[in-house]
Structure 1
Amino acid sequence: MKFLINLGLLLLLAVVLVVWVALPWPGVLALVLLFAAWLAATRRGRQTASVTGVGVSTLRQRLGSSAVIMIGTAGVVGVLVALLAMGEGYAETLRKTGSADTAIVMRGGSASEVMSVLDRDSIVVIPQAPGIARDAKGDPLASPELVVAANLPVRGGGPDDEGSVQLRGVGDRAWEVRPNLKIVAGRKFETGRRELVVGKSAQQQFAGLDVGKTVKLGSQEWSVVGVFASGDALESEIWGDADTVASTYRRGSSRASVTVKLADPKAFDTLKAALAADPRLKVDVDTTLHYFSKQSEGTAKVIRAIGITVGMIMAIGAAFGALNCMYAAVAARAREIATLRAIGFGGLPVVIAVMLETMLLALAGGVLGGLVAWLLFNGYSASTLAAGSVGKLSFQFVVSPQLLWDGLKWALAIGFVGGLFPAVRAARLPVASALREL
C-alpha cells in the first residue's frame, strides 16, 4: 500500500512539473502574487518567511553545498538554452527568408524546390495568372528558377573535404521579386555566361568564392563576379544564369519553381484559385513566408527534442545533487528546526521554507546559466551539415527572452524537486530526538 501511495505521489509530481514548465508567464506571475499575499497575510506565511530568512542567513556557512546546487542548475539551464537557441536560430533564418507578398509555385506534391520539376509549358502559363504584380510595361513579376546541389571545397578543410551548396539558376526577374537582396561586392552575373554571384554566408563556408576566383561546377569552370547579402537563408546559396545552369546540369528547359511578386498579400487567394482551376497545370502554390517556415519545422522539432531530452537527463542529475545537499543541510540544522517546532512553528512553514531555500539557489544557478548561454551563443554562427541534395544552411543561434524564461522555469523545477523530500523529512523530524542531537 505504501508503495502505491509513493508511486501516486511521484506521478502527481511529474504532472505538476509538466504543467509548470508549460505555464505561461501570466500564470507564473499570478502564482507569485498569491504566494506573496499568503506570506504577508497569514500566520503560517509569516512563520515561513521567518524560517526562510534564518536559512538564507546561514548560506555562507554552507557555501560548498550551495555552490553544488547553483552550478548543477546553471549547467542544465546553459546546455538547454544553447541547444534550443540552435533550433530557434535555424527556424528564424528560414522564417526571415519569405514574405507575405511573394508566392512560390512548384509541381504538385513537391515538398521542396529540389524535388520539383516544372515543364516549359507550365513556366509560360503560371506568370499569366491573376494576382501577380506587373511592372511599368505590364509584364508579370515572375521568376522561373532552377535549384540544384553543387559540391564545393569547404573553407579551411582538406583537399578532399567538400560540402553541398545550393546553386540557384535565375533570370533578371529574381532581383525584382526579392528587393531585399543587394550586391555588396562586385557585380551581377551576365546572361548566358558562366558567372556566379555568391551569398555572404556561402562565401564564408566554402573556399574559392571570392570575387575574381574561378570554381568548378559540374564539368565547367565558373567565375565568381559578385557577392550578395539578403539577411536570410538565401545568403547560403550561389546564383547563376538559369539557362547556363540548366545546360551544365542537363535540365533542358525545365525549372524547379516560379517565384512571383503578388499585387498585394490579399491577392494570394486569387492566384491560388486561378492556378488550381487551370486544367493545364498540376501545381501547388504557397506564400514564401509559409513555405520557408514549413521547411524549418522538421529540423527545429528534432533539435528541440534533443535539447529537452539532454536537459531532462542533466536535470535529473542536478535534482539528485540538490537532494543530497539539502538532506545534509537539514541534518546539520536538526536542532535548529526542532527548536522552531518546539516554540510553535508548524510543519508547513518548515516544509515551504526548505523548498524556498533550494528554489532560490536553483534560481540563482538558472540566471547564471542563462547569462553564460546568452554571452557565449547569442549570435554564434553555425551551419547545417550538407548531405545528398540538401545544401548547407548558415544561421545564427538566437537566445531569445522566451528561451531564457523557459530556462528559469526549469531551474525552479529542479529546485522544487531537490527541496521537496528533504523538506518533508525536516517537518517529520521528531522534536525530542532532534533536540538531543548535537
Structure 2
Amino acid sequence: MKRFFSSLLTVLALATVLMIWIKLPWFAVLGIAIAIALWLLATRSGRLAREATKLGIAGLPQRWGASSVIVIGIAGVVGVLVAMLAMGEGFKATLDKTGDDSTAILLRAGSQAETNSVITRDQTPLIAALPGIVRAADGKALVSPELSQVVNLVSRNDGGDVNVQFRGVGPQGWAIRPQIKIVQGRKFNPGLREIVIGKGAQTQFRDMEVGKQLKLANQQWTIVGVFEAKDSHDSELWTDADVLGPSYQRQAFQSVTVKLTGKSGFKQLKAALASDPRLKLDVATTRDYYGKQSEGLTKLIKILGSVIGAIMAIGAVFGALNSMYAAVAGRAREIATLRALGFRGLPVVTAVMLETMLLALLGGVLGALIAWLVFNGYTVSTLGNNFSQVVFQFKVSPELAWTGLKWALGIGLVGGLFPALRAARLPVTEALRAA
C-alpha cells in the first residue's frame, strides 16, 4: 500500500507540473530556456551535461527506430490537439468578425438568440424613433427589422439534409452592413421571392448557383446573387423580410439591427429602451451578441481537444518511457564510462532529459506543421446557436502551434524523467561488468 500511494503521489505531482507547464506564458518558458542555457555554458556541471548530451545525440542514428516512436507519437498528439483547437478558433473568429461596436441588435427581453425572440411590427416604428441611431440622408433611421427561418438544404459533402439560416432583412439591412458585397449577380428586389446567398453557403450546399430555383415553404424562390461577408452571414440566404414573413406565416419580426451614432449611441439607445414601457427589449452590440454565440461551442471544443490530447499524451508518455529506458539500457556501458570519468548524476540526468526533449521538440514541430498544412483554411460547417449551419474555416494560429509545442515538451519532460534518473543511478561496476 505504501508503494501504491507513493506511486500515486508521484503521478499526481507529475500531472500537476505538466498542467502548470502547459499554462505558462511564452516569456516564462523563454526565461526557463535562458536559465538552462546559461547553466550549460557557465558552470562545470553544465559543461559536462552539454558534452554528455552531444554524445547521446551523436548516437541517435543508431537508435533511430526507438527514437522515431517518440517523434511520431508526440507528433500525433500535437497534430490532433492543434487541429481540434483550430476548429474552435476558426468558429470563434468567424462569429467575432460578424459583429462590431458600431451596430446593435435588439431582441425580446430575456431572449438569448433570434430563434426565441419576438418583436411586433408596431414596435419597429418606436425603435426607429429612438436616439443613438444613425439617420440616412433622407432622414430615415438605419434600422433593419429581421426574420430568421431555418430551412433544409442538401450538403455537398454527403448529400444529407442540413439546417440553413434563411434571413429576411429590411430595406436598410445592406446599409447597416457595408462590409457585405455582391460578388456575383445582383441584390434581391423588394416584394419578390428572390434570394441572395452567402459565398460560404454556395460552397457547402447543393444547387446554389445564380439563376437556379429553390422550393421553400411550397413556393419557388429564384437565386439572383451571391454575396461575401467574410463572417457568419456567409452561411445564410437573404431575402426581403416582408416577403419571408407571409411565406412562413410569421406576423412579427425576431430582431432589429441598427446602426449606432458613435460610442455614445449605444448608451443613449439603451437608456431610451429602459425608459419606454412599450419596448420590453434587450439591446447588445453585435460584437457582444455574436461573441456570446460562440462561447458554448468554443469551450466544448477546447475541453474535448484537451481531453483527447491528454489521453493520447498518456500513450505518448509510455512510448517515450519505453524508448528511453531501452536507450539507457543500450547505452549502459557508455553511461558507466562517463560516470567513471567523473560525470556525476546531474550531468547524466540532464543529458538524457535534453535528448528526450529534443526528440519531443521534433515531434511537436512535425505535428504542428502537419496540422497547419492539412487543416489551416479547411472549410467546414457546424450548428450554431440558431440551430442552423455556420460555415467557417479552421484557423491554425501561431498561438495554437505554441500550445502544441508546450504539450510536446511537457510529454518529453515526463517521458524522459524516470529513464534519466535510472541512468544517473546506474551502478558503474555492474554496468561495466555486464558490458
TM-score past 0.5 threshold: yes
What residue number does 1:210 align with?
Answer: 209
What residue number does 1:425 align with?
Answer: 422
CA offset at residue 293 of structure 1?
Answer: 1.1
CA offset at residue 385 of structure 1?
Answer: 4.8
Residue ranges of structure 1 left out of the alignment (5+ in a row):
none
Identify the range of structure 1 (136-145 vs 366-375) with the bigger mean alpha-carbon deviation.
Answer: 136-145
Identify the range of structure 1 (351-360 vs 4-13) with the bigger mean alpha-carbon deviation.
Answer: 4-13
CA distance in 2, matches of 1:106, 1:377: 36
Letter of the 1:185 counterpart:
Q
Is the counterpart of residue 224 in structure 1 residue 223 in structure 2? yes
Number of matched residues? Answer: 434
CA distance in 1, matches of 2:146, 2:383: 24
Q: How does 1:246-395 map to 2 (within 5 A)?
A: 246-252=245-251, 254-385=252-383, 390-395=387-392
Query: Does structure 1 retain, via aligned residues, the 8 Å contact 2:74–2:367?
Result: yes
CA distance in 2, matches of 1:382, 1:330: 46
CA distance in 1, matches of 2:104, 2:329: 67
What residue number does 2:148 align with?
Answer: 147
1:61-111, Cα deviation, whole Å (9 max, x unpaired): 111011111111111111111111111111111111111110001001111
SS in structure 2 at match of 1:384: strand
Question: Could you say if the C-alpha distance between residues 407 and 157 of structure 1 is closer, same or farther in structure 2, counting changes exceeding 3 Å?
Answer: closer
The alignment's TM-score, normalised by the length of structure 1, stands at 0.96
What residue number does 2:190 align with?
Answer: 191
Query: Does structure 1 retain, via aligned residues, the 8 Å contact 2:143–2:170?
Result: no
Letter of the 1:344 counterpart:
G
Query: Does structure 2 retain, via aligned residues, the 8 Å contact 1:177–1:261?
Result: yes
Query: Does structure 2 retain, via aligned residues, the 8 Å contact 1:163–1:386?
Result: no
CA distance in 2, matches of 1:386, 1:207: 20
Query: Does structure 2 retain, via aligned residues, the 8 Å contact 1:81–1:399?
Result: yes
Question: Could you say if the C-alpha distance between residues 129 and 377 of structure 1 is closer, same or farther in structure 2, counting changes exceeding 3 Å?
Answer: same
Query: Does structure 1 retain, via aligned residues, the 8 Å contact 2:293–2:384?
Result: no
Is the counterpart of residue 235 in structure 1 residue 209 in structure 2? no
1:301-353, Cα deviation, whole Å (9 max, x unpaired): 11111111111111111110110010011011111111211222111111111
CA distance in 2, matches of 1:39, 1:186: 66
Matched residues, percent identical? 58
What residue number does 2:73 align with?
Answer: 72
What residue number does 1:52 align with?
Answer: 53
CA distance in 2, matches of 1:150, 1:57: 63
Question: Could you say if the C-alpha distance between residues 428 and 157 of structure 1 is closer, same or farther in structure 2, counting changes exceeding 3 Å?
Answer: closer
SS in structure 2 at match of 1:393: strand
Letter of the 1:176 counterpart:
A
What residue number does 1:86 align with?
Answer: 87
What residue number does 2:400 align with?
Answer: 403
CA distance in 1, matches of 2:113, 2:198: 20
Query: Does structure 2 retain, via aligned residues, the 8 Å contact 1:164–1:386?
Result: no
CA distance in 2, matches of 1:45, 1:122: 75
CA offset at residue 9 of structure 1?
Answer: 2.5
CA distance in 2, matches of 1:43, 1:103: 65
The alignment's TM-score, normalised by the length of structure 2, stands at 0.97
What residue number does 1:173 align with?
Answer: 172
Letter of the 1:229 counterpart:
E
Query: Does structure 2 retain, via aligned residues, the 8 Å contact 1:370–1:404?
Result: yes
CA distance in 1, matches of 2:226, 2:39: 62
Identify the range of structure 1 (237-246 vs 117-126) with the bigger mean alpha-carbon deviation.
Answer: 117-126
CA distance in 1, matches of 2:121, 2:84: 44
1:140-199, Cα deviation, whole Å (9 max, x unpaired): 1111111111112333655xx322110111122000000001111111111111111111
CA offset at residue 435 of structure 1?
Answer: 1.3
What residue number does 2:411 align with?
Answer: 414
What residue number does 1:63 align with?
Answer: 64
Query: Does structure 2 retain, via aligned residues, the 8 Å contact 1:202–1:235?
Result: yes
Question: Could you say if the C-alpha distance between residues 294 and 58 of structure 1 is closer, same or farther in structure 2, counting changes exceeding 3 Å?
Answer: same
Letter of the 2:365 counterpart:
V
